Amino acid sequence: MSWDGDDKAIRKSVLSQWEGEDLYILPYPTKRSGKNNGVTDFILDFKAGNPRAVALGTRLLVEAAESYERAFREASCSHIMAAPPHSVGKANAPSEVACKLMGDALNVRHLIGALARTEKVQKAAWAPPGERPGYFDHIRTIQYDGPDLKLRGKSVILFDDVLTKGNTSMACRKIITDATGCTKVLGIFLGRTPR
């Protein structure tokens, strides 16, 4: 089943909450009774590139980024980039579109394709128990492919569609910090799974 296109139901679910240095927009509940709920279907459609879901998801992300623009400015954010997909050589088009528009709204530079996967890893949601890719799997299989930047005293925004355990985002943060020397990496996530 995919998202039914009910924009109002998705907007009613918006949380736009900070958790540490992460801003997440929607709760991303796991399946209950073998069925997804509307938010889960919406986020899955965003990830799959459904044009209506990408348009709404991007609007929600831009609105949230604009509402916290002061926090991003105070953190001296200068760039935004997307976490890479799980496959090698594939673009994460919905995430890159969202980054471009959030970057425009926050007046920060979007670095398209700055993080790249060097080796395919299994999607965490599809991994059998005990086989979910961990932090070191992501460190080993992601590289910084962006421009040579010296961002001492600046912050970078990392976007990923869903924050689950945080292994991907923690690895991306280390890779970005090592490559650019930035002070911190703030995360924006369309969905947040329960801990």
Q: Kindly report the CATH number assigned to the domain that includes residue 117.
A: 3.40.50.2020
Q: Which domain holds residue 105?
A: 7-28+36-123+131-192
Tell me, yes or no, whether 175 lies in a domain: yes
Q: What integer pLDDT is reported at residue 36 of this predicted model? A: 74
Q: What integer pLDDT is reported at residue 1 of this predicted model? A: 53
Q: What integer pLDDT is reported at residue 177 of this predicted model? A: 97
Tell me, yes or no, whether 107 lies in a domain: yes
Tell me, yes or no, whether 179 lies in a domain: yes
Tell me, yes or no, whether 178 lies in a domain: yes
Tell me, yes or no, whether 1 lies in a domain: no
pTM confidence score: 0.93
pLDDT tens for each residue of 69-117: 999 999 999 999 999 999 998 888 999 999 999 999 999 999 999 999 9
Burial class (CB within 10 angstroms; exposed 0-12, middle 13-18, buried 19+) of 55: middle
User: Residue 108 is encoded by which pair of tokens?
Assistant: 């920060």
Listing DSSP states for 47-106 in one string gives HHT-HHHHHHHHHHHHHHHHHTHHHHHHTTEEEEEEPP-SSTT---HHHHHHHHHHHHHH
- State yes or no: pLDDT of 129 exceeds 80: no
- Of 44, 34, 54, which Cα lies nearest the Cα of 2? 44
Average pLDDT over residues 180-187: 97
Average pLDDT over residues 135-151: 96
Residue 70 CB partners (closer than 8 Å, separation 6+): none
Q: What angle do CA 48, 54, 57 make, to 5 degrees?
A: 120
User: Structurally, how many domains does the chain consist of?
Assistant: 1
- State yes or no: pLDDT of 33 exceeds 80: no
Tell me, yes or no, whether 96 lies in a domain: yes
Rounded mean pLDDT of the chain?
A: 92
- State yes or no: pLDDT of 146 exceeds 60: yes
Tell me, yes or no, whether 74 lies in a domain: yes
* Higher pLDDT among residues 27 and 57, named by residue: 57
Phi, psi of 16 (to 5 degrees): 45, 65
Q: What integer pLDDT is reported at residue 195 of this predicted model? A: 66
- State yes or no: pLDDT of 138 exceeds 60: yes
- State yes or no: pLDDT of 49 exceeds 90: yes
Average pLDDT over residues 132-141: 94
Burial class (CB within 10 angstroms; exposed 0-12, middle 13-18, buried 19+) of 130: exposed
Tell me, yes or no, whether 45 lies in a domain: yes
* Higher pLDDT among residues 127 and 94, named by residue: 94
pLDDT bin (cut points 50, 70, 90) of residue 122 is: confident
